[in-house]
Amino acid sequence: MTATAAATLSLTGPFARQGRQAAAGLELWAEEAGVRLTVVDDGGSRSAARRAYAEWLHPGVDLLIGPYGSGLVRAVAPLVCGAGRLLWNHGGAADDLARPGLVSLPAPASSYFEGAVREAATRRVDRLLLGQGAGPFASTVARGAVRCASSRGIEAGTVMMGSLTAADAVGAALLVAGRFQEDVAMVRGVRGWPRAPALLGAVAAGLPAFGEQLGPAAEGVLGPVQWWPTSRRPDIGPSGADLAIRYRRRTGRTCSYVAVQAAAAGYLAHAAHRRSLAAEAVRQWTTSTPLGDFALDGGWRQVGHRVWTIGWHQGRMVLVGQGSAGHPGLD
């Protein structure tokens, strides 16, 4: 019997860019896996997302794939998991989301800037400033970066993005964590400052659209990515490199980590369904997907997967410390 899956995604609204990428990833998985997929546009609305998932709790939908964005996952997870169903989370990385039944694939947001902090230490930068946007996700990213910097003996502090000035960042590593367009605007503004920060990073830098919008202004900016296309064949699904090729062939666009997160959630959910795995068996499952390694701890926190750190170099993403390893499709 054909499996059925459903998800809400922000095809419109503040997260439409990421929502459409996630939808394309899910559609690619569903087409290849022979799964009947329903995607509803939540428009970034928590109430719209909750209404949709409430309807899908009844028999008839085998796989419930989560929405994009920690706020939306936070809104629907109590409903879905409280009803005894698994919610396969690809789009929410905030550390506080962990709960029984929420099967999260992404590494936690608190780890997003660990690679950028390591790079700051390598460059002997002794002060870090985190430009924080509004909301709990940005706060989680900021706290994680400050904690990581402090553990390395780097003086670290946080300032709200709207209050950040050129004088604040002189001689510091500046990392910004806001919504995509906020990060883009911040980096564009920094390029007009009389003195550049010692290092510049942004959460948004991990998306191909960052370089597309900023052009030369993206040069040298570091960012976190949940995925990098390698030829390693995972236990479940195709390799990251193969998935990137299939995505470009299907959509004509460069594959982002947002798309792969969603596709990987589909592959993992479908594999669990075929094996009739109960919730506790899923919680104890150690495996790998196109996104990377998968393992949950006793509190349902993702502990198997880690983020990569990229930097923009001559119009393409490269792995930090591996300058020749360019992202396919960005060369």
pLDDT digits (tens, 9 = 90+) for 112-159: 999 999 999 999 999 999 999 999 999 999 999 999 999 999 999 999
Structure confidence by residue, pLDDT tens digits, 175-232: 999 999 999 999 999 999 999 999 999 999 999 999 999 999 999 999 999 999 999 9
What would the two tokens of residue 17 be? 């860019």
CB-CB contact of 255 with 229 (8 Å): yes
Could you write out the three-class secondary structure of the chain? CCCEEEEEECCCCCCHHHHHHHHHHHHHHHHHHCCEEEEEECCCCHHHHHHHHHHHCCCCCCEEECCECHHHHHHHHHHHHHCCCCEEECECCCHHHCCCCEEECCCCHHHCCHHHHHHHHHCCCCEEEEEECCCHHHHHHHHHHHHHHHHCCCEEEEEEHHHCCHHHHCCCEEEEECCHHHHHHHHHHHCCCCCCCCEEEEHHHHCHHHHHHHHHHHCCCEEEECCCCCCCCCCCCCCHHHHHHHHHHHHCCCCCHHHHHHHHHHHHHHHHHHCCCCHHHHHCCCEEECCEEECECCCCCECCCCCEEEEEECCEEEECCEEEEECCCCC
Residue range(s) of every CATH 3.40.50.2300 domain in the chain: 4-107+228-294, 111-225+313-326
Binning pLDDT at 50, 70 and 90, where does residue 327 land?
A: low
Q: Per CATH, the architecture of 111-225+313-326 is what?
A: 3-Layer(aba) Sandwich (3.40)
Structure confidence by residue, pLDDT tens digits, 58-67: 878 999 999 9
What is the CATH class of 4-107+228-294? alpha beta
Structure confidence by residue, pLDDT tens digits, 32-44: 999 999 999 999 9
Binning pLDDT at 50, 70 and 90, where does residue 321 land?
A: low
Give mean pLDDT, residues 45-55: 97
Binning pLDDT at 50, 70 and 90, where does residue 331 land?
A: very low
Binning pLDDT at 50, 70 and 90, where does residue 330 land?
A: very low
CA distances from 149 to 18, 50, 172, 193 (A): 29, 38, 12, 24
- Is pLDDT above 50 for 328? no
